[in-house]
């Protein structure tokens, strides 16, 4: 079953059968991800192209208690022009009109971000639903989504109730995510699983499938604030659930690793993972994002090294 290039996931009716069929061999998963960094080495101009692709897939993020309008304006300026113009010119990449995939902020900073990005085509994503713990009342979480969409957020990153996963209440998780999807309206829904808190790799696979059945446009690893965030074994598990869901329904769901993805080298491993497991159609900001704040700085540093042969100090490429 084929779908158009960019379509939203409409979800399916809840069924326990796909969950009962999930079997994950953790040792095999670990062996598979161990091959990503060495078997497919990317060098020279090909590495440049992949790093530029990675930039286009970054949700440039600031989720700090001391965020100010000035900081968010600077973040948005960086999202519009993520790499210094002299570096892009030297690499022959000026014509790409490169930007990051989105800017991700708290609700209070949505209007500032939307105004700062006007005319750029860069969407604003907002974290919602009692982020990062997700322990506030359901009515409050739904209202948060509605307010963020009204303020101009084009994407909503929600957190699921981990207790439903840990206690096997899969229908309750489905109903919750479905309610979140309905509250989003035209805004795209990214469901954060907080994989470091779900107890087992099997739970991660099942939670991924339930969220997709409920209509999630993306499944995302982490808030970035757990003790364990995005890892390649967890990401492989989630990506294979996306592949299985696509085979079942013909619908594409995006993937977003977040937290701990801070180096160009690690970013390349994730891009290889997506290419090999899902194919080129997913190597698109519509279906793949990095949740990151420091990743862009390291990629820009690597691009400058390819151009000059020298590494700049890490503070030479400021993010904001």
Active-site residue (options: 59, 78, 157, 178): 157
- Ramachandran region of residue 136, left (φ > 0), alpha (ψ -120 to 50) or beta? beta
Query: Would you list the DSSP string of 260-311?
Result: S--SHHHHHHHHHHHHHHT-GGGSSTTTB-EEESSHHHHHHHHHHHHHHS-P
Q: 220 an active-site residue?
A: yes
Is residue 128 classed exposed, middle or buried when 0-12, 13-18 and 19+ CB atoms within 10 A define those classes?
buried
Q: 157 an active-site residue?
A: yes
Does residue 3 contact residue 10 with C-beta atoms inside 8 Å? Answer: no
User: Residue 219 corresponds to which tokens in the numbers above?
Assistant: 């499944």
Start-end of H helices in the chain? 17-20, 26-34, 36-39, 44-56, 69-80, 85-91, 110-116, 138-151, 162-166, 170-184, 201-213, 232-249, 264-277, 295-308
Q: State the Cα–Cα distance between residues 194 and 297, nearest whole angstrom.
A: 25
Nearest partner of 93 among 104, 82, 108, judged by Cα? 82
User: Residue 238 corresponds to which tokens in the numbers above?
Assistant: 């989630």
HEC-encoded secondary structure of 209-246: HHHHHCCCCEEECCCCCCCCCCCHHHHHHHHHHHHHHH
Q: 206 an active-site residue?
A: no
β-bridge mates for residue 156, sequence order:
126, 189
Does residue 156 contact residue 188 with C-beta atoms inside 8 Å? Answer: yes
Q: State the Cα–Cα distance between residues 155 and 104, nearest whole angstrom.
A: 9
Active-site residue (options: 53, 78, 256, 298): 256
What are the residue numbers of the active site?
Answer: 157, 220, 256
């Amino acid at each position: 079953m084929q779908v158009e290039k960019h379509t939203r996931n409409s979800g399916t009716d809840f069924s326990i059968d796909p969950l009962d069929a999930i079997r994950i061999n953790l040792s095999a998963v670990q062996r598979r991800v161990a091959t990503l960094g060495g078997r497919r080495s990317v060098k020279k101009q090909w590495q440049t192209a992949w790093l530029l692709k990675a930039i286009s897939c970054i949700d440039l993020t600031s989720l700090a208690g001391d965020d100010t309008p000035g900081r968010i304006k600077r973040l948005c300026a960086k999202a519009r022009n993520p790499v210094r113009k002299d570096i892009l010119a030297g690499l022959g990449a000026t014509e790409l009109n490169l930007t990051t995939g989105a800017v991700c902020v708290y609700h209070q900073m949505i209007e500032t971000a939307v105004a700062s990005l006007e005319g750029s085509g860069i969407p604003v994503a907002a974290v919602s639903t009692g982020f990062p713990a997700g322990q506030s009342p359901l009515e409050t979480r739904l209202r948060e989504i509605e307010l963020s969409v009204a303020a101009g957020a084009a994407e909503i990153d929600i957190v699921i109730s981990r207790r439903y996963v840990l206690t096997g209440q899969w229908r309750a998780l489905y109903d919750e995510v479905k309610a979140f999807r309905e509250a989003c309206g035209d805004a795209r829904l990214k469901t954060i699983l907080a994989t470091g808190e779900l107890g087992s790799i099997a739970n991660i696979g099942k939670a991924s499938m339930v969220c997709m059945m409920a209509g999630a446009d993306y499944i995302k690893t982490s808030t970035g604030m757990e003790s364990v965030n995005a890892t390649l074994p967890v990401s492989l598990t989630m990506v294979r659930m996306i592949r299985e869901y696509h085979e079942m329904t013909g619908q594409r769901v995006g993937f977003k690793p977040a937290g701990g993805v801070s180096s160009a080298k690690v970013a390349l491993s994730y891009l290889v993972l997506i290419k090999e497991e899902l194919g080129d159609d997913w190597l698109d900001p519509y279906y793949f994002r990095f949740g990151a704040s420091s990743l862009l700085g390291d990629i820009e540093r690597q691009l400058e090294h390819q151009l000059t042969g020298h590494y700049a100090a890490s503070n030479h490429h400021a993010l904001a």
